[in-house]
Amino acid sequence: VTRTRAATRRCETPGAMADRRKLQAEIDRTLKKIEEGVEVFDRIFDKVTEAENQSLKEKHEAELKKEIKKLQRFRDQVKQWAGSNDVKDKNPLLEARRTIEREMERFKVVEKETKTKAFSKEGLARAASSKDPKEKAREDARDWLNRATDGLNEQMEAFEAEVETISSEKKGKKSAKSNPRLGHLEESIQRHLQHVARLELVLRLIDNEALAPEDAEDLKDLIEDYLERNQDDFDEFADPEEMYEDLNLDELDEIKQMAHEVAHSAPTVVEKVIEKVEAAESKKEGGDAGGGGGGA
């Protein structure tokens, strides 16, 4: 049997050997991404546990959820490779899977804690008594903006994976660069990045009450349409900025920053005015006292 296996290895065609090397290279890249993803997950997990307020904690939890989704996709790929006869050394794959599953358990604990707090009687009572309609509208806006951003990031990950596959094909760098699909994917990624930047600005302006949530309602439908059709009707979405023109985001952001600077410099100005008033009153009192002494 040993002799037969050795003979089989010797008889392996150059093409099969090349495929095996290519598969191993892809496995190595994925294992590296898993290692980096776990490091990012751990950093965000620490931010969640150390968050000083609920708003910040929810923000980090959303980031944590995005990272665990990435790791879960890697886990599915790792499981597939681990079950393949083409992979001989499966120990690194099994270890990577165990690592991801440990992180999944940690995320479940955070998620359960959040849901328990949100749906407890005390939590519901506090929410009902303290949440006004404006805050509810802001929360709804945050939810759909975060969902839209997650959707864009997920699509970008798929684009990037395809770019990597095309670029690594054994057809020469020149041939890969001339591939029209590569240009299409790179343009898609750039458009998505513009949308992510704009949506993050919209979210910041809503959080800072510089933009009313209802003013961004029309944008919600446009973004959902873009997420659904950006590849099927590619040319229709050539200019990402068109969706945001009516909101005047840059102008609102500039006004908000100016207001922030004025608000933070105001105490200094007030202190100077108070000092001047006090100095004038002191001088007046001194003058009155001097005048009174002369009359006596």
Whether the predicted pLDDT of 273 surpasses 60: no
Question: What six digits make up the tokens of 116?
Answer: 């328990």
* 6 or 97, which is more confident: 97
Give residue for tokens 């904690």.
57
CA atoms within 13 A on the CB side of 188: 26
* 41: confidence class by pLDDT, cuts 50, 70, 90: very high
Q: What is the pLDDT of residues 52-71, one digit of tens each?
A: 888 788 888 889 999 999 99
- Give the residue-averaged pLDDT of 90-96: 92
Whether the predicted pLDDT of 266 surpasses 60: no
Find all residues with CB under 8 Å of 25, minimum gap 6, and list them: 168
Average pLDDT of every residue of the chain: 79
Is residue 286 within 8 Å of 238, Cβ to Cβ? no
Whether the predicted pLDDT of 180 surpasses 90: no
Largest CA distance in the chain: 128
